[in-house]
Amino acid sequence: MSETITIDGPEGRFDAYLARPANPAAPAVVVMQEIFGVNADMRATCDELAMQGFLALCPDMFWRLEPGVQLSDATEQEWQKALALYTAFDIDKGVNDAAAALAHARQFEGIGRKAGIVGFCLGGLLSYRAGACMAVDAAVSFYGGGIQHHLEEARTASTPLLIHLAGDDEFIPPDAQASIQQMLGTRPEVDIHVYPGCQHAFARHGGQHRDDAASALAWQRTLAFLHRHLG
C-alpha cells in the first residue's frame, strides 16, 4: 500500500511518497531521489523495498524550488530541467531535510524503529552525508556524485556504510573514485563495490544506462546489508 504523507522539516513542510510493508512495525528506509524528483523510478524503489519488509519513504528534496517534480532521463528537455534544479539545490539544506525524514520515519505512527537511508546520484551524496554526519543505523550510496568533496565528514563516523560505484561513471571520474577508496576503503564499517564497465545510474529503472546484472548484484548486496543492520 502506498500514499503521500507530509513531513515537518526545519524550514517547512514537504511531501514524501510512502510504501508500507506487511509488518506495521518494520524498520524504515528513507530513499533519497536523483535529480529527476520523486518519479516513477523512486516510487518503484520504495515499492520494492516495502515488498522486502521495509517501511520506505522518498521525500521531495526539490520542495523549495518546485514541489512535485517528476522527470525522467528520456528527453533532453527533462535533462536540462533536472540539471537546472540540481544547480539551484542547496546540499546542506537537503541534508537537514534528510535528517527530518529519518526522524519522521523512526517514529512514524508512534512506532519506534530502526531507520536506514538509501540514495541515488544526488541522493547518493545525501545518503553518504547522512551516514557521516548524523545518527542513522545504515546508509547506502548508489553512485553518489561529489562524495570526494566531503570525505573529511566521515573521518569520525561509525555508521555502517555501503557505497556502489560505476566503473565507467561519466560523473564520478577515476581520481574521485580513487579518493573515496583511499579514504574509506580500509574502514571496517564501510563496504565499497565497483561495477566494471557500468555507467552512472546503472540501477535506474528503465534508465538509458541500466545494467540488469550489475543492478541485481548491487541490490542483492544492499538488501543483505539493510537486513543485517536494520533487522
Q: Which residues are catalytic?
A: 169, 200
3-state class (DSSP) for residue 157: coil
Q: What is the DSSP string of 3-62?
A: EEEEEEETTEEEEEEEE--SSTT--EEEEEP-TTBS-HHHHHHHHHHHHTT-EEEEE-TT
Which of 92, 38, 31, 14 has its CA nearest to residue 222?
31
Which of 166, 171, 160 has its CA nearest to residue 142?
166
Angstrom distance (rounded) from CA 193 to CA 185: 10
Angstrom distance (rounded) from CA 116 to CA 113: 10
Residue entry with cell 569520525: 156
Angstrom distance (rounded) from CA 61 to CA 91: 10
